[in-house]
C-alpha cells in the first residue's frame, strides 16, 4: 500500500531585485514581469510504501526541507501533486508550531488538537511526552524561555506520541545532546518496527545507512537518484566533493607542475608498490592523483582476507600523483556488513605527513591496524588519496569497497563489537 505519492512535484518562489519591483509588478496587474522564479523543488516524483523509512540527502540548498514541507502539507506545490495517506507528524524547523508565549504543556494541547486528537487523548499521552522531553519544571514555563535543546526535546516528544502514521524528521536531532540523540534513535527504530512510514533528513551518513530502506538524493531541487542507502550516500559524497572542487581556489597551476622524474618518497623498490585493486564498486575524484593498489595482510606481511577479532592487520596503499600536490594525504575507511562506517584514518589524521608530492611520484603507505573485537561477518575497506587535511580536503581518487575481509570466530559477540573489559566484583 502506498503511503506517499508525489508526481512532478515542484515549488517556486518569486525573487525580486528590490522591494519596489514587487510593487511595480503589482500595480501593473502582473502585465510587467519584475521577478525571477527560483525553483526550490522541481519535477520530483516518487512513491513510498507504507512502513518504509526513506532518507532524503543532498548538499545544503538542494531542496530537502522544502520537499518535506510539501509532503507535510505545510507548503502548497506550484506544480504537480503530492498525496499522503494517514496522520502526519512533522518535526521540521526548530520550534515551528509552538506559540512562544504559551507554556510547553499548553503547546502540547494546541499541537495535539491541530493533529486531530481529543483533549482526553492528549491527556492520556501527556505523561509520556513529559517523561520523554525531560525538561522538568520548564514544561509549565513559556516556550520563549527554552533553549534550542529544550525546544527540540519537546517537539520530538509531541511528534512521536501522537500516534503518527507518517513521521517526518528534518535534521532536528542534531540539536539535542548525546543522551537525547540516543533516546531518539531508539524511538525511531521502535516506530520503524511498528510499521510507521518515516521521512528522515540528515547529514549523518551512518544514520541514513542504519535507518533507511531507500534514499532520495536531491541536487539543485531535482531528484538526482533514488536507490539503496549505500549507493546513494556514495553519490552524495561525489556531489559534495564536486561542489568543493568548483569553489576551491586553484592552488596548483600548470606552471607549478614539475614533470621531471621524481624519486619515490621512501625510496622503496618497485616491487614494494601495490598494483592490484581487487574490487571497484564506485570511483570518483578530480584525477590529480590515482590509487594504484591496495593490499591487506596479516602481521607477518602475508596477504590474507580472514582475521580473528583483535588480530593485527596491515593495510598497504599505493598512489601515483599526476600533478604536484602541496598537502597529499592517503587513507581508508572500514565499513560493516550493512555499509555503516566503523572507522577511518589517513596520514594527516595519524600525524604521518607525506610532504609535498611531485608529478609522477609514487607513494606507498603501510597502516598497522589493531582490529577491535568485531562480530563475525564481512567488512570492506575503501581507500582514498586527497589533497588537504583530514577535515578539509579535495578528493583526488576514491574507490568504494576495494577490499573485503572477514572476521571469523566461534566466540559470542553481542552487538557490533566486544569491548576489552576487566571486571572486579566487590
CATH of domain 2-86+165-237: 3.40.50.300
**Taking the CB of residue 57, how many other CB atoms lie within 10 A of it?**
28
Whole-number Å distance between alpha carbons of 342 and 333 = 8
pLDDT tens across 217-228, in order? Answer: 999 999 999 999
210-243 per-residue burial string, b: 16 or more CB within 10 A, e: under 16: bbbebbbbbbebbbbeeeebbbbbbbbbbbbbee
Lookup result for grid cell 540516543 = 182
Whole-number Å distance between alpha carbons of 384 and 398 = 4
Whole-number Å distance between alpha carbons of 293 and 168 = 43
Percentage of the residues of the chain whose pLDDT score is greater than 90: 38
Tell me how far CA of residue 104 lies from CA of 101, 115, 137, 148, 162, in angstroms.
Answer: 10, 16, 10, 13, 15
H or E segment and range at residue 422: none
Confidence at 420, pLDDT banded by 50, 70, 90:
confident
Looking only at the bridges linking them, the beta strands covering 306-307 and 312-321 are unpaired
The confidence score (pLDDT) of residue 247 equals: 52
* Contact present, 52 and 79 (Cβ < 8 Å): no
Confidence at 244, pLDDT banded by 50, 70, 90:
low
Lookup result for grid cell 522564479 = 37
- The mean-pLDDT minimum among 7-11, 167-171, 250-254 falls in 250-254
Highest mean pLDDT of the ranges 26-30, 53-57, 190-194: 53-57
Helix (H, G, I), strand (E, B) or coil at 27: helix
CA dihedral for 412, 414, 420, 423, sign (positive or negative): negative
* All structural domains of the chain with their residue ranges: 2-86+165-237, 105-161, 265-407
* Contact present, 288 and 396 (Cβ < 8 Å): yes
Is pLDDT at 264 greater than 80 in this prediction?
Answer: no
* Contact present, 394 and 241 (Cβ < 8 Å): yes
In CATH terms, are 2-86+165-237 and 265-407 the same topology?
Answer: no
Q: Which three cell numbers stand for residue 144?
A: 520563549
pLDDT tens across 283-294, in order? Answer: 889 999 999 999
Lookup result for grid cell 527554552 = 146
The confidence score (pLDDT) of residue 426 equals: 92
Confidence at 344, pLDDT banded by 50, 70, 90:
very high
| CATH of the domain spanning 265-407, picked from 2.70.50.60, 3.40.640.10, 3.40.50.2000, 3.90.79.10 | 2.70.50.60
The confidence score (pLDDT) of residue 95 equals: 56
Q: What is the mean pLDDT of residues 167-181?
A: 71
Total-model pTM: 0.68
Mean residue pLDDT across the chain = 84
The confidence score (pLDDT) of residue 93 equals: 64
Amino acid at each position: 500500500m502506498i503511503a506517499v505519492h508525489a508526481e512532478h512535484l515542484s515549488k517556486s518562489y518569486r525573487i525580486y531585485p528590490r522591494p519596489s519591483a514587487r510593487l511595480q509588478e503589482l500595480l501593473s496587474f502582473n502585465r510587467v514581469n519584475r521577478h525571477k522564479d527560483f525553483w526550490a523543488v522541481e519535477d520530483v516524483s516518487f512513491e513510498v510504501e507504507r512502513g518504509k523509512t526513506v532518507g532524503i540527502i543532498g548538499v545544503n540548498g538542494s531542496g530537502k526541507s522544502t520537499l518535506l514541507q510539501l509532503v507535510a502539507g505545510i507548503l502548497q506545490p506550484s506544480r504537480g501533486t503530492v498525496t499522503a495517506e494517514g496522520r502526519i507528524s512533522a518535526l521540521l524547523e526548530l520550534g515551528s508550531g509552538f506559540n512562544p508565549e504559551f507554556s510547553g504543556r499548553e503547546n502540547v494541547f494546541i499541537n495535539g488538537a491541530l493533529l486531530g486528537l481529543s483533549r482526553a487523548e492528549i491527556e492520556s499521552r501527556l505523561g509520556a511526552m513529559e517523561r520523554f522531553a525531560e525538561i522538568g519544571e520548564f514544561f509549565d514555563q513559556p516556550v520563549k524561555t527554552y533553549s534550542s535543546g529544550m525546544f527540540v526535546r519537546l517537539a520530538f516528544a509531541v511528534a512521536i506520541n501522537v500516534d503518527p502514521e507518517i513521521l517526518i524528521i528534518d535534521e532536528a536531532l542534531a540539536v539535542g545532546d548525546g543522551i537525547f540523540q540516543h533516546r531518539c534513535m531508539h524511538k525511531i527504530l521502535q516506530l520503524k518496527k511498528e510499521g510507521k512510514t518515516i521521512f528522515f533528513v540528515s547529514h549523518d551518513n551512518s544514520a541514513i545507512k542504519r535507518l533507511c530502506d531507500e534514499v532520495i538524493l536531491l541536487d539543485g531541487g531535482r531528484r538526482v537518484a533514488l536507490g539503496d542507502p549505500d549507493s546513494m550516500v556514495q553519490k552524495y559524497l561525489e556531489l559534495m566533493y564536486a561542489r568543493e572542487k568548483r569553489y576551491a581556489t586553484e592552488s596548483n597551476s600548470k606552471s607549478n607542475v614539475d614533470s621531471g622524474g621524481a624519486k619515490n618518497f621512501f625510496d622503496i623498490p618497485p616491487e614494494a608498490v601495490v598494483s592490484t585493486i581487487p574490487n571497484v564498486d564506485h570511483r570518483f575524484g578530480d584525477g590529480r592523483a590515482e590509487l594504484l593498489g591496495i593490499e591487506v595482510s596479516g602481521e607477518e606481511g602475508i596477504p590474507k582476507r580472514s582475521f580473528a577479532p583483535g588480530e593485527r592487520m596491515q593495510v598497504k596503499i599505493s598512489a601515483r600523483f599526476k600533478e604536484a600536490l602541496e598537502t597529499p594525504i592517503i587513507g581508508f575507511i572500514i565499513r560493516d556488513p550493512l555499509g555503516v562506517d566503523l572507522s577511518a584514518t589517513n596520514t594527516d589524521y595519524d600525524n604521518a605527513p607525506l610532504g609535498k608530492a611531485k608529478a609522477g611520484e609514487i607513494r606507498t603507505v603501510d597502516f598497522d591496524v589493531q582490529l577491535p573485537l568485531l562480530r563475525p561477518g564481512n567488512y570492506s575497506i575503501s581507500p582514498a588519496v586527497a589533497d588537504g587535511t583530514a577535515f578539509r580536503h579535495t578528493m583526488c581518487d576514491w574507490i568504494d569497497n576495494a577490499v573485503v575481509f572477514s572476521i571469523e570466530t566461534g566466540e559470542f559477540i553481542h552487538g557490533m563489537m566486544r569491548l576489552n573489559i576487566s571486571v572486579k566484583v566487590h
